[in-house]
Amino acid sequence: MSNGDMFEKNHDEIDFEFLGNIRGKDWRIQTNIYGNGSTNVGREERYGLWFDPSEDFHQYSILWTENLIIFYVDNVPIREIKRTKAMGGDFPSKPMSLIATIWDGSNWATNGGKYKVNYKYAPYTAKFSDFILHGCAVDPVELSSKCDDDAAESKTPSGITLDQRRKMDNFRKKQMQYSYCYDMTRYNVPPPECVIDSKEAERLRAFDPVRFGGSHHHHGKRHRRRSKSKLKDDDDVDVSFM
């Protein structure tokens, strides 16, 4: 999701991205958010997938409320972001449009840019099914909501259930390959909303001891739609659900 067409210098984004794939290797996805043009502070997380998204349809969902963002894969929450004062305007808050694109991100998306798109396999396609969008329409000029806020709020989940949290913790334990909160080569001090989990840090350190080496100090308490899609066979292409 993005509003870059309306707010060029201070846009918001909520990103669900399939990173470039090397044929025969496991697929990876990335989640990220920007608020108020804060593109200098990336909040990326990357995960391996336990399936090939080019073989069948799966559900990829984003719950976005005034104070909460949750990413889901097949109804399993994989990441939770809570709005805090420490984030300031970095939490997406302005009306956004939903965009689904295939774009060439191979200068960074496939093994850090090691492998580029091979256009002899073009054209690339993505198919979508059972698209569902719950939300309030917003006038693009007046930026005023056109729905009953109380009715919309009553249908919106307030958070993650205990069973969902168990599934999310299990997913992150097995599948998470990168989190900005632990990237010592990028941030000497983690962004203020990060809460360092020692077990999570240890797993990532084993995955990449250079990037996730060293230690971070705990920052205290975190100031912490569902659409089915199927990817056709492609080579090193980034598919972005924003």
Which region, left, alpha or beta, applies to residue 37 given φ > 0 means left and ψ of -120 to 50 means alpha? Answer: left
**pLDDT at residue 92 in the model:** 94
Q: How confident is the model over 36-91, as pLDDT tens digits? A: 998 888 899 999 999 999 899 999 999 999 899 999 999 999 999 999 898 888 99
Q: How confident is the model at residue 151 (pLDDT cuts 50, 70, 90)?
A: low
Task: Tell me if residue 55 is catalytic.
Answer: no
Q: How confident is the model over 163-202, as pLDDT tens digits? A: 999 999 999 999 999 999 999 999 988 998 898 899 999 9
Share of the chain above pLDDT 70, in %: 85
Which residue bears the tokens 């941030």?
A: 187
Q: What is the mean pLDDT of the chain?
A: 83
Half-sphere exposure of 233 (CA within 13 A, CB side): 4
**pLDDT at residue 230 in the model:** 54
Q: How confident is the model over 37-49, as pLDDT tens digits? A: 988 888 999 999 9
Q: Which of 8, 17, 45, 142 is labelled catalytic? A: 17
Res. 12: pLDDT tops 70: yes
**pLDDT at residue 120 in the model:** 92
Q: Which of 13, 45, 193, 200 is labelled catalytic? A: 13
Q: What is the CATH number of domain 13-241?
A: 2.60.120.200
Q: Which helix (H) or strand (E) holds 61?
A: strand 58-64
Reported for 74-78, long-range contacts at CB under 8 A and 24+ positions apart, including other chains, are 76/164, 76/167, 76/168, 76/171, 77/160, 77/164, 77/165, 77/167, 77/168, 77/171, 78/31, 78/47, 78/168, 78/171, 78/172, 78/175
**pLDDT at residue 180 in the model:** 95
Res. 101: pLDDT tops 90: no
Task: Tell me if residue 80 is catalytic.
Answer: no
